[in-house]
Amino acid sequence: MKIRKAVFPVAGLGTRVLPATKAMPKEMLTIVDKPLIQYVVDEAKEAGIEHFVFVTGRNKGVIEDHFDRMYELDATLSARGKKAEMEILARDQPEAGAISFTRQQAPLGLGHAVWCARDIVGDEPFAVVLPDELVLHTPGCLAQMIEAASKLAAKSNLIAVEAVPDELTHQYGICGVGKRNGRVFEVDGMVEKPAKGTAPSNLSITGRYILQPEIFRILETQERGAGGEIQLTDAMIGLSKTQKFYGVEFEGERHDCGSKAGFLRANIAFGMVRPELREGLRAEMKKYSAH
């Protein structure tokens, strides 16, 4: 199963990290020295994704600018002999025609955002990557999923899952566990935020998916669910009646950068894996942890 396209829903308001996101898209908040959106695009590139589809909203134009060339900056860096900086920008620059943007005009939920990409994705399997969730590992989470998908039937759907404490399962989408083969298992049911004590497992659905295009037909008539929004989980439950779903327990450390605590934790974690930053960062953390 070849996965060529990835959808990045980036129309959200980022209310959990206000006021930082009042004028700046949450996807452009930086972890160390790169915006969130660059990390997930890099993850998709590593996984072999060829076309990047962004579902945007109002005040998200800076995301499009980030992936465009800035001739004034290029000229200034060249004149100053900043070769290292020019190489970084060139590395992050997508090929011409490899990026598409479409609008989600109303905040109707993740399922609606994915549906907005239907004409660009077309009739082929595709990935969905949530930019406010980062996974610290090589190979990345999406690469692990695509590797798993290569060993499954052509019409398979995959979701990345992570174990959460039993007492917190009511805060997540949770999947049931069927036949298992290592880190990959058949999904035996999905439920969005189950009542306490009713969850089928402690494996939560995280922000990486590989879906078949038939999901679009379901989303087209999907009724609003939790929060008055069109929920992707509800559509996946519908699709699971006719197609197989598999869970992938990925390797790596997941960071929810949509929360303030998660955002700070991600900066520390990603900073500590950088050899040129590690010792200085460790010294600063020791200084502040003493208070």
Q: Could you report the per-residue pLDDT of 152-196, keeping only the tens digit for each?
A: 988 999 999 999 999 989 888 899 999 999 999 999 988 888 888
Q: How many domains does the chain have?
A: 1
Amino acid at 64: E
Please tell me the predicted confidence (pLDDT) of residue 204: 93
More confident residue, 229 or 7: 7
Structural domain of 208: 5-289
pLDDT, greater one: 88 or 218: 218
H helix or E strand, kind and range, residue 157: strand 157-163
Q: What is the DSSP string of 3-57?
A: --EEEEE-----GGGTTTTTTS-GGG-EETTEEHHHHHHHHHHHTT--EEEEEE-
Model pLDDT, residue 76:
86
pLDDT at 23: 83
Q: The pTM is what?
A: 0.92
Backbone φ and ψ for 184, nearest 5 degrees, come out as -110, 135
- CATH number, domain at 42? 3.90.550.10
**Is pLDDT at 245 greater than 70 in this prediction?**
yes
Q: Where are the beta strands (DSSP E) in 27-154?
A: 30-31, 34-35, 51-56, 99-103, 126-129, 133-136
Judge whether 245 and 159 are in contact, CB under 8 Å.
yes
